[in-house]
């Protein structure tokens, strides 16, 4: 984003110009870093544009691209290249136009004498608060390459964990989706022919048959409207559930769903432990590390309550005691292990152990998810098939029975 600013120097001299930043807050921080007092600041709307800029706007940077960028940057710095040289090589090597532009911008920021973290902060939608602060801690401690190695490992583990959960969720979604598509196809192609046959019968049709005929008739005449309504309802429900008002209740409800609630809880605990351990290893104080970790968690219940824990710890409370105040989110084992880590001075090692434990739990549950859900899916599909079969067979049986009696 491009901002036009009017600012004052320490001498009282007025300066005008433009600055590029990820948000208005970032623009103010960048100007303050240059010892400028902001008077006015507003986003400059670009009227002239090129096709490449439009395509870049719709481009995105995948998690894997961020992992590769972080890993390669750390390797180059370890090999002895300066930060400027490493960024220059990465800019020339990358194939993604979006990533090439970002790395070029980062190089420009570093060449001006600013920190790499300040450049990364200009892209909050790509580089999370966790990422930026880990890099900033590495720059301040003089151990940037080592922090980048740990950061790449963390991103890779996080990416792999999310990928396993998504792949495990595909099985039930594919089965249910295929069942729904088959049911709609039968309702549009096969059932209308049966409907014409049933309407000629001189008998009272069973309730299931009447329901089937009504559904078939509705889909024949209003299939397009039904599809539009279904899509509209889907997006409306999604908007409601992701709204600020409903999100806390929805995320709390997710944690209570059988099987999926356990996956969500273990996933949040694994990310909490690994993120916090990585930030502590980067050199951040525990209060700040907890605050950043809270922002990276996906579940709102964990995000909100861990922020409360961060506040308590910043005021001098032991982390184990603060976590114990939320037993529904942090099991006794987590609190006990954290207590051991605090007493022994090996909190980072304990957190990484907990991360591996809960990642293994998520991995085991997701691997067995298809086995766990198969009986449930079979029952659901069996009920649907049995219902359709009864709706079709029952009137035929009634008709043939009536013929035999006569």
Give me the pLDDT at residue 318, please: 92
For the residues 181-206, what does the mean pLDDT come to?
Answer: 73
Question: Per the domain annotation, does 170 fall within a domain?
Answer: no
Same domain, 269 and 125: no
Distance CA 357, CA 146 (A): 24
Give me the pLDDT at residue 28, please: 75
Same domain, 78 and 142: yes
Question: Per the domain annotation, does 174 fall within a domain?
Answer: no
Can you read off the two tokens belonging to residue 171?
Answer: 């099985």
Same domain, 11 and 41: yes
Same domain, 386 and 303: no
Output the DSSP codes for 260-276.
HHHHHHHHHHHHHHHHH
Question: Per the domain annotation, does 353 fall within a domain?
Answer: yes
Same domain, 350 and 374: no
Same domain, 344 and 288: yes
Contact 38, 28 (CB under 8 A): yes
Give me the pLDDT at residue 78, please: 84
- Residue 173, Cβ neighbours under 10 Å: how many? 10
Same domain, 198 and 333: no
Can you read off the two tokens belonging to residue 399?
Answer: 């008709």
Q: pLDDT for 101-119, tens place per residue?
A: 899 999 999 998 888 988 9
Give me the pLDDT at residue 49, please: 40
The sign of the torsion formed by the CA atoms of 158, 161, 167, 173 equals negative
Output the DSSP codes for 310-377.
HHHHHTT--HHHHHHT-TTTS-HHHHHHHHHHHHHT-HHHHHHHHHHHHHHHHHHHHHTHHHHHHHHH
Contact 302, 268 (CB under 8 A): yes
Same domain, 71 and 147: yes
What strand order describes the sheet that includes 14-20? 14-20, 2-8, 37-43
Q: What is the DSSP letter of 40?
A: E
Contacts of residue 404, defined as CB under 8 A and 6 or more positions apart, other chains included, come to: none
Contacts of residue 60, defined as CB under 8 A and 6 or more positions apart, other chains included, come to: 98
Question: Per the domain annotation, does 179 fall within a domain?
Answer: no
Any idea which of 201-205, 274-278, 311-315 has the lowest mean pLDDT? 201-205
Answer whether 0.75 is exceeded by the pTM: no
Contacts of residue 2, defined as CB under 8 A and 6 or more positions apart, other chains included, come to: 18, 19, 20, 43, 44, 46
**Bridge partners, 41 (sequence order):** 5
Q: Please give the residue that has the higher pLDDT: either 73 or 57.
A: 73
Please report which confidence band the pLDDT of residue 58 belongs to, taking 50, 70 and 90 as the band edges: very low
Same domain, 215 and 350: no
Residue 339 has pLDDT above 90, yes or no: yes
Same domain, 300 and 333: yes
Q: What mean pLDDT value characterizes the chain?
A: 80
Q: What is the DSSP letter of 143?
A: -
Q: Please give the residue that has the higher pLDDT: either 169 or 49.
A: 169
Question: Per the domain annotation, does 327 fall within a domain?
Answer: yes
Contacts of residue 61, defined as CB under 8 A and 6 or more positions apart, other chains included, come to: 96, 98, 99, 102, 126
Give me the pLDDT at residue 336, please: 92
Give me the pLDDT at residue 202, please: 65
CATH number at residue 337: 1.20.81.30
Question: Per the domain annotation, does 185 fall within a domain?
Answer: no
Give me the pLDDT at residue 163, please: 76
Q: Report CA 15 to chain centroid distance, whole Å.
A: 41
Residues constituting the chain: 406
Question: Per the domain annotation, does 171 fall within a domain?
Answer: no
For the residues 248-259, what does the mean pLDDT come to?
Answer: 87
Residue 262 has pLDDT above 60, yes or no: yes
Instruction: Give pairs for 118-121: CB < 8 Å, separation 24+.
Output: 118/29, 118/30, 118/33, 121/22, 121/26, 121/29
Please report which confidence band the pLDDT of residue 341 belongs to, taking 50, 70 and 90 as the band edges: very high
Residue 53 has pLDDT above 60, yes or no: no
Please report which confidence band the pLDDT of residue 215 belongs to, taking 50, 70 and 90 as the band edges: confident
Token pair 């035999």 is found at 404
| Of 157, 174, 205, the domain-final residue | 157
Give me the pLDDT at residue 60, please: 66
**Domain count of the fold of the chain:** 4
- Burial (CB < 10 A; 0-12, 13-18, 19+), residue 162, is middle
Residue 10 has pLDDT above 60, yes or no: yes
Distance CA 334, CA 321 (A): 11
Which range is most confident: 46-60, 149-163, 164-178, 274-288?
A: 274-288
Same domain, 140 and 215: no
Which range is most confident: 55-69, 305-319, 377-391?
A: 305-319
Please report which confidence band the pLDDT of residue 77 belongs to, taking 50, 70 and 90 as the band edges: confident
- Boundaries of domain holding 16: 2-48
Residue 232 has pLDDT above 90, yes or no: yes
Question: Per the domain annotation, does 54 fall within a domain?
Answer: no
Same domain, 207 and 349: no
Residue 54 has pLDDT above 70, yes or no: no
């Amino acid at each position: 984003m491009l901002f036009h600013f009017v600012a004052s120097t320490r001498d009282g001299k007025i300066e005008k110009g433009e600055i590029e930043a990820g948000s208005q807050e970032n623009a103010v921080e960048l100007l303050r870093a240059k010892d400028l007092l902001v008077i006015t600041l507003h986003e400059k709307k670009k009227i002239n544009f090129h096709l490449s800029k439009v395509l870049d706007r719709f481009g995105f940077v995948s998690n894997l691209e961020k992992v590769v960028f972080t890993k390669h940057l750390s390797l180059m710095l370890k090999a002895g290249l300066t930060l400027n040289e490493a960024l220059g090589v990465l800019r020339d090597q990358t194939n993604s136009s979006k990533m090439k532009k970002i790395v070029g911008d980062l190089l420009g920021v570093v060449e001006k004498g600013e920190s790499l973290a300040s450049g990364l902060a200009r892209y909050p939608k790509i580089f999370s608060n966790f990422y930026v602060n880990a890099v900033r801690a590495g720059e301040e401690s003089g151990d940037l390459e080592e922090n980048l190695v740990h950061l790449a490992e963390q991103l890779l583990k996080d990416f792999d964990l999310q990928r396993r959960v998504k792949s495990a969720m595909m099985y039930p979604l594919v089965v249910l989706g295929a069942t729904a598509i088959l049911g709609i196809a039968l309702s549009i192609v096969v059932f209308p022919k049966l409907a014409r046959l049933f309407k000629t019968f001189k008998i009272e049709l069973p309730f299931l048959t009447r329901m089937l005929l009504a559904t078939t008739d509705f889909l024949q005449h209003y299939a397009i409207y039904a599809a539009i309504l279904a899509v509209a309802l889907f997006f409306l429900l999604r908007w409601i559930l992701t709204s600020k008002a409903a999100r806390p209740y929805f995320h709390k409800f997710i944690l209570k769903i059988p099987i999926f609630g356990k996956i969500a809880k273990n996933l949040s605990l694994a990310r909490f432990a690994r993120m916090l351990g990585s930030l502590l290893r980067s050199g951040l104080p525990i209060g700040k590390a907890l605050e950043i970790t809270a922002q990276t968690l996906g579940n709102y219940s964990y995000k909100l309550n861990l922020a409360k824990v961060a506040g308590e710890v910043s005021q001098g409370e032991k982390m184990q005691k603060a976590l114990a105040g939320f037993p529904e989110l942090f099991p006794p084992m987590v609190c006990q292990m954290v207590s051991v880590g605090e007493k022994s001075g090996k909190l980072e090692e304990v957190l990484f152990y907990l991360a591996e434990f809960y990642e293994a739990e998520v991995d085991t549950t997701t691997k067995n998810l298809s086995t766990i859900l198969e009986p449930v899916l079979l029952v659901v599909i069996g009920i649907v098939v049995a219902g359709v079969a009864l709706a079709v067979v029952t009137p035929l049986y009634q008709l043939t029975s009536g013929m035999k009696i006569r």
